[in-house]
């Protein structure tokens, strides 16, 4: 299954300007330095540049992909892993893009940060390592397992949910985790993998589910179908049937993404969402919504309690 998945193209990789050590001179270095000072080039890493116009049009995660490509260009034997591999494969992560390029290293060297790299100690440097556009990268399967083992539970669940939704096998993730990770990391990975659910529709929904458990709220039904006399209303993110409460995470992408807008203006989407919510309420349940800034216990907890959802005994 993993081998059939397509990678995310590295934007601008073949537009990188590389200055090999054998081609460098004082005047050559000065030429590039002045181009950077004039705002024509951006230095991605030592000896690697890209046009500033190109760089400034990239999203942070795309810039990190380019940084990874530049780093591996100078050290092709390295194996890209964890958050950097996730950026290359398109595995969603919560929060900002990685700062350092994450790569595998042997246990004897230990996990450490140096020279723009975050070296991650691993029991096995070869298992589930593939070629991606000429780079050694952990496979999608291993990348997800490594994220589940290294990230906080909420963030690990994001990666696991995404993988399950794309047909990656839960048992395969568990087996790999037991093969490559030690006790503490293994415990984190196993917890996130066991909790994962392919029905989770977005990273925000995954974080929400993790928070429900963390705060002691009852587990909801996912993607419950609601209809009325005029037909299908839609699938809800969360439904607590016993308490007749629908929960909806609003990630705002529907107001910005061309694919989700489907030719509508953001104002039209707001109107459509209001009508949908009115139809849902007319079937009986109450509806409560929250946004990305609410995805912390101090904010989501009161929202759910005020909506009438009790904490589990």
For residue range 47-60, list pLDDT tens digits in order: 889 999 999 999 99
Dump pLDDT digits (tens) for 135-189. 999 999 999 999 999 999 999 999 999 999 999 999 999 999 999 998 899 999 9
Domains within the chain, CATH numbers bracketed:
2-195 (no CATH), 203-306 (3.40.960.10)
Radius of gyration, CA atoms only, the chain: 23
pLDDT value at residue 272: 83
pLDDT value at residue 47: 84
Dump pLDDT digits (tens) for 197-254. 999 999 999 999 999 999 999 999 999 999 999 999 999 999 999 999 999 998 665 5
CA angle 59, 29, 101 (to 5 degrees): 35
Beta carbons within 8 Å of 42's beta carbon, 6+ residues apart: 36, 49, 50, 51, 52, 55, 56
Dump pLDDT digits (tens) for 245-276. 999 998 665 555 555 556 667 778 778 889 99
């Amino acid at each position: 299954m993993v081998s059939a998945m397509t990678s995310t193209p590295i934007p601008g990789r073949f537009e990188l300007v590389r200055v090999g050590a054998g081609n460098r001179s004082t005047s050559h270095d000065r030429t590039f330095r002045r181009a950077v000072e004039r705002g024509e080039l951006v230095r991605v890493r030592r000896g690697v540049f890209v046009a500033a116009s190109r760089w400034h049009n990239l999203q942070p995660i795309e810039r990190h992909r380019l940084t990874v490509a530049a780093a591996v260009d100078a050290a092709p034997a390295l194996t890209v892993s964890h958050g950097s591999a996730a950026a290359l494969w398109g595995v969603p992560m919560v929060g900002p893009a990685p700062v350092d390029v994450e790569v595998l290293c042997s246990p004897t060297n230990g996990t450490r940060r140096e020279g723009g790299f975050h070296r991650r100690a691993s029991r096995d440097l070869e298992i589930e390592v593939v070629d991606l556009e000429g780079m050694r990268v952990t496979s999608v399967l291993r990348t997800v397992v490594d994220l589940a083992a290294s990230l906080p539970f909420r963030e690990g669940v994001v990666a696991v949910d995404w993988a399950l939704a794309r047909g990656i096998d839960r048992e395969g993730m568990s087996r790999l985790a037991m093969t490559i990770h030690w006790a503490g990391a293994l415990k984190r990975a196993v917890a996130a993998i066991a909790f994962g659910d392919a029905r989770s529709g977005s990273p925000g929904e995954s974080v929400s589910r993790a928070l429900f458990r963390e705060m002691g709220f009852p587990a909801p039904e996912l993607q419950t179908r609601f209809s009325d006399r005029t037909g299908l209303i839609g699938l809800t993110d969360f439904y607590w049937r016993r308490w007749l409460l629908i929960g909806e995470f609003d990630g705002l992408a529907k107001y910005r993404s061309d694919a989700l807008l489907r030719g509508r203006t953001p104002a039209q989407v707001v109107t459509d969402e209001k009508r949908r919510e009115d139809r849902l309420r007319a079937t009986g349940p109450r509806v409560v919504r929250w946004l990305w800034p609410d995805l912390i216990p101090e904010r989501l907890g009161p929202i759910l309690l005020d909506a009438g959802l009790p904490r589990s005994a």
